A = this chain, B = another copy of it.
C-alpha cells in the first residue's frame, strides 16, 4: 500500500492519457512519470534519503503534483507548506521536522532569506518557475532535464508519507504525521462514496498544500484521472478553465463555491461539464446550493467533514441529501455520516459514549488516522487514545447517524475556509504593550462565513485602535488571522475555573443565529 502504485499502473495502462494540465502545458502519463522519476533522481542527488522530508512552498501547478510523486518515488516524505502563513510560521514548520530540501516558486522567493535565517536546516532550494533562476538556487526544469531517472525506494503501509502542519491551539503549528496507509485509504474512501473516477478531469483550485485538496489529488491519482491546476482560486479564472478543459470534478471550500457562483463573470462560461463537487472545511449555506445548481446543472455535491489528523475524512454528506426529498430531511446542516473507513462516536470528558443527540467530543477511529504529531508525544497521547482520534470538535450524532458539529473546536474561527485558532491570535495580541487581557472569537459574516473578532481589556490608562492592533499582528501572524473588528471591554467574563467564557462573548453577535461550523 504505497502512494506511487497508481503511477506504475497509469503509465502501463494509459501512458498517452493526460496526467496534468497547467496553463498551456499538458503532460501525458508517460511524460509525467518520466519527470517524476527524474525529479526523484534530483532529490536523491540533493541528499534525500528514505524518510527524509522534502518541502514545497508554492502556488498550485503541475509541478506540485510532480513534487508529491517525485518525493515518494525517492523514498521521501512530503511537507507541503501553508502558503497563507507568515514567514516565521513557515520557517517553524520547516525547521520543526528538519526539512532540508525545499521547492519554491517565484511568489515566495521574497521570503526565502527569512526562511533560511529562521530554518537553518534548509539546504538545497529548488526554484519552480518558467523564468530565470536566481543565484544559489537550483532550477527545477534544469534538474528534470539533467537528472538520471531514480530507482524507486519503495515505502508504504505504516511508513511516513507526509507531515502536514496544522495550526496548534497553543499558537505553534503541529506536524501531523500521515503514513502511506492513511493517504491511500482516504483516496479509496472518496471513490467509494462517488464511484469510478477514472474519467475525471479534476481541478485543483483550493491550495494544494491543503489536505482536503491533497486527498482529492490522491483520489484522482489512484483512479488514473487528469489533474488541472490553477495557481490560486480566482472566480473568473476558475470558470474559464472549467469551460476550456471541460473540468468534471473539483474540491472547493464553501466560500470559493459561493464566490464562483456569485461572480458575474461566471455566467459567461459553460460549467455544465462539472458533475462532482467535493466541499469541506465548513458547511454550506443552502442559499448557495440553490444558486449553484442552475450554474452547474449536472453537479452532484458531496460534503466531507474531517481534519488533517484523519487524513482527512471522517464523515460524508452524500449528494442525495443536497437536493430534492433528501434535502428536505434537513441533514444538510450536518457533516454527514461516518464514511466507509471511519467509525465515529461522541464521547464525554471521560471518553464514554454519550446518548444520541447529546453534544460531546467527536472521536474517530479508522485506517485514515495519523501516526501522531511530529516530535510531540504528549500531544499525540492526548489526541490519540486506543486508536481513537479525539478531534476537539464538539458535536452530536442524530438517530440516523448524522454528525452535527455543534461548535467546531469551541474557539476556532473559520473564515473563508481557513481555520484560525483563537489562541494563536491571542498570543499575538498579548505581545502588544497596551493589551492586558484579550479573547478572540468568531463573529458571523455573510461573505467569509466568520470573521476574527478581538475583545480586549487594555492596561490602565492605555487604549488601542483596530488599526494599531492590525499593524501589530501583521508582523506576527498571517493576514487572514488578523482581527477584523475590535471591542474594548472593562473585563472579560471568567468562569469558575478561570477560563474566559467565549460563549458569553459570542452571544451578542450570534443571537438568533445558529453557529454551526463544519
Contacts and interface: CB of A to CB of B under 8 A. Distances in A.
Interface of A: 1, 5-6, 8-9, 12-14, 154, 157, 181, 184-185, 188-189, 191-197, 222-223, 318, 337-338, 340-345, 365-367, 387, 397, 400-401
A387 B157 CA distance: 13
Given A366-B5, A401-B14, A340 B222 contact: yes
Given A9-B343, A14-B401, A194-B196, 11 more contacts: A1-B367, A12-B345, A12-B397, A12-B401, A13-B397, A185-B185, A188-B192, A188-B341, A193-B196, A195-B195, A222-B340
24 contacts: A1-B185, A1-B366, A1-B367, A5-B365, A6-B340, A9-B342, A12-B338, A13-B401, A14-B400, A154-B387, A184-B367, A185-B185, A188-B189, A188-B192, A188-B340, A191-B340, A192-B192, A192-B195, A192-B197, A193-B195, A193-B196, A195-B195, A196-B318, A223-B340
Most buried by B among A9, A194, A338: A9
A181 B1 contact: yes
Contacts of A401: 12-14
Contacts of A337: 13
Nearest to A401: B13
Nearest to A224: B340
Contacts of A9: 338, 342-344
Judged by DSSP, the binding face of A is mixed
Copies of this protein in the assembly total 2
Contacts of A318: 196
A192 B223 CA distance: 9
A189 to B, nearest CB: 7
Contacts of A397: 12-13
Contacts of A192: 188, 191-192, 195-197, 222-223
Nearest to A8: B343
Contacts of A13: 337-338, 397, 400-401
A83 B189 CA distance: 34
Nearest to A7: B343
A12 B344 contact: yes
A469 B13 CA distance: 38
Most buried by B among A6, A13, A197, A365: A13
Contacts of A184: 367
A262 to B, nearest CB: 30
A400 B224 CA distance: 13
A317 to B, nearest CB: 12
A200 to B, nearest CB: 12
Nearest to A6: B340
A316 to B, nearest CB: 9
A365 to B, nearest CB: 7
A8 B337 CA distance: 13
